[in-house]
């Protein structure tokens, strides 16, 4: 389970870095909104995944 979380975190980090460097450039407001959105989605995924792991006992 932890390896999957690390892989997902790496992919999300690379995606944020790529968008920040290639697409957004100097537009910091959109970069902040996008980064915040991705962080919130990642935290929700981790919380739901942890709850699922605890409840199912897998």
Per-residue pLDDT band for 2 (boundaries 50, 70, 90) equals: low
pLDDT at residue 4, as a whole number: 75
Query: What's the pLDDT at 1?
Result: 61
Where do the structural domains in the chain lie, given as residue ranges?
Answer: 2-56
pLDDT at 41: 86
Amino acid 26: pLDDT: 67
Tens of pLDDT, residues 15-58: 877 777 776 666 677 777 777 888 888 888 888 888 888 888 75
SS3 per-residue string spanning 16-47: HHHHHHHHHCCCHHHHHHHHHHHHHHHHHHHH
In contact, 41 and 4? CB cutoff 8 Å? no
pLDDT value of position 19: 73
Q: Quickly count: other Cβ atoms within 10 Å of residue 25's Cβ.
A: 10
């Amino acid at each position: 389970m932890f390896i999957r979380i690390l892989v997902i975190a790496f992919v999300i980090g690379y995606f944020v870095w790529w968008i920040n460097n290639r697409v957004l450039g100097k537009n910091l407001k959109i970069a902040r909104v996008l980064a915040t959105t991705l962080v919130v989605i990642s935290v929700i995924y981790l919380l739901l995944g942890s709850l699922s792991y605890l409840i199912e006992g897998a």
